[in-house]
Amino acid sequence: MDRNIRTVDDVLRLLDGLFAREADRWTADGASWWDSFYADRTRPVPFFVAKPDENLVSYLDRGLITPGRALDLGCGPGRNALHLSSLGFEVDAVDLSRAAITWAEDRAREAGADVRFHCGDAFTLTATELTGPYDLIYDSGCFHHLPPHRRISYLALLDRCLAPGGHLSLTCFAAGETGMGSELPDASFYDRAESLHGGLAYTPQSLRWIFSDLTEIELRRMHDEPPESPRFGEPFLWTALFRRTAES
């Protein structure tokens, strides 16, 4: 007989176990799914391109964010981390997949970029390797792959690592017409407890509620960028920029 639930972390690990088939998409227990995903660099995956997100470029062009310390969550092949580094940011970038980190390191060497790449689970790395505080936490497609209960871990990461007055910027699957991702209610994932259906879709209202401790700067659809554009943009994503109060 097991009686092993004592802390919030114990509950989170228990709930992780309900999604055992997909757990390596967000936990450090194994990243085999993502390693396989990134193994073929020639695959026609939209975000395999070596281009920064159009919203990130826009924030910088408009002065909504300025160079400082940055953390790129779920950095993949490093396209946004390299862009931030090129503009004077001091960048830490983290991903679960060793294949993704190796690819990002190759790109950084080719570009002569100075980025500190970390392979592992950002929720546990923050206590050791990702020290913060960060003026910008950038997330291009990590948040929507988390099961609902791991939003608690995500918000705790922001609380630990985002500097007062710092910004959170994220892109995530948009619910509704031309959107992408599952629109099932949170409880349904625990009723079935087997799949996140490729990722969770969000509405603007849900994002505003989840990040209600932060101040919204901008929330909009990502612009659809043509193939010849120097920026990445797909309209099935929301882009959001939030700021932590300076007194936090």
For residue 166, give the nearest of 131, 138, 126, 130 by alpha carbon. 138
DSSP state of 43: S
Domains of the chain, with CATH numbers?
8-40+51-243 (3.40.50.150)
Tokens of 33: 């799914």
* CB half-sphere exposure, 202, CA atoms < 13 A: 27
DSSP code per residue over 7-74: SHHHHHHHHHHHTGGGGGGTSTT--HHHHHHHH-TTS--GGGSS--BHHHHHHHHTTSS-SSEEEEET
Q: Which residue's structure tokens are 């959107």?
A: 179
- Structure-block tokens of residue 244: 């932590």
Chain-wide mean pLDDT for the chain? 91
Pick 232 or 18 by higher pLDDT.
Answer: 232
Residue in the block written with tokens 């043509």: 226
Q: Is 69 helix (H, G, I), strand (E, B) or coil?
A: strand
Query: 171 forms bridges with which residues in the sheet?
Result: 140, 239
End-to-end CA distance of the chain: 44
The span from the CA of 31 to the CA of 89, in Å, is 28
Tokens 């097991």 sit on residue: 2
Give the tokens for residue 71: 């953390």
CA neighbor of 169 nearest in space, from 247, 74, 59, 86: 59
118: helix, coil or strand? Answer: strand
As a whole number of angstroms, the distance between CA 205 and CA 227 comes to 31
Task: Encode pLDDT of 129-153 as tens digits.
Answer: 888 899 999 999 999 999 999 999 9
Report the pLDDT value the prediction gives residue 234, as an integer from 0 to 100: 96
pLDDT digit string, tens, across residues 224-248: 999 999 999 999 999 999 999 987 6
Helices assigned H by DSSP within 176-224: 186-192, 204-210
Q: Which two tokens stand for residue 142?
A: 């990590």
pLDDT at 51 over 80: yes
pLDDT band at 33 (very low <50, low <70, confident <90, very high): confident
